[in-house]
Structure 1
């Protein structure tokens, strides 16, 4: 399975939804909360200012896009 990184914030309901969805599907992921400056810088370097952003391998999904997530993970 590809590495999955989820960029989140504390006040983002879609971030919670993404994490719950991945857990339901049995997908392990690393959460990177952008309250930490280094993770905020990573997110900005990827070209984004909002969350959730899901990095699956080398691909990026912005927002809680179930179709894109399932397609990239082969679900």
Structure 2
């Protein structure tokens, strides 16, 4: 089972594209909106050094931005 967490904001068009992509290929994910959760935002910057979204953690691997090819590399 894949462990996928998508870090988003409410106004990010690439976040919407990423979530639509994951839904279209049948990959369940957990969404964390860093715009609404400042603690999650701080942890994200600590983990990746990046504040931009979307960022996705897939089975322990980070993918920055909307990058279906990288996502495919890390899903089981």
Structure 2 residue aligned with 1:69, among 63, 68, 71? 71
User: 1:3: which partner in 2?
Assistant: 3
User: 1:13: which partner in 2?
Assistant: 13
Cα distance between partner residues in 2 of 1:57 and 1:73: 7
Contact 2:59 2:75 in 1 (8 A): no
TM-score of the superposed pair, with normalisation by structure 2: 0.91
Structure 2 residue aligned with 1:57, among 56, 59, 64? 59
What displacement does 1:43 show? 1.1
DSSP 3-state at the match of 1:31 = strand
Cα distance between partner residues in 1 of 2:72 and 2:59: 13
Which has the larger displacement, 65-74 or 47-56? 65-74
Q: What stretches of structure 2 of length at least 5 have no aligned partner? A: none
DSSP 3-state at the match of 1:68 = helix
User: 2:41: which partner in 1?
Assistant: 40
What displacement does 1:72 show? 1.1
What displacement does 1:13 show? 0.2
What displacement does 1:19 show? 0.3
Runs of 4 or more consecutive aligned structure 1 residues displaced over 3 Å after TM superposition: none
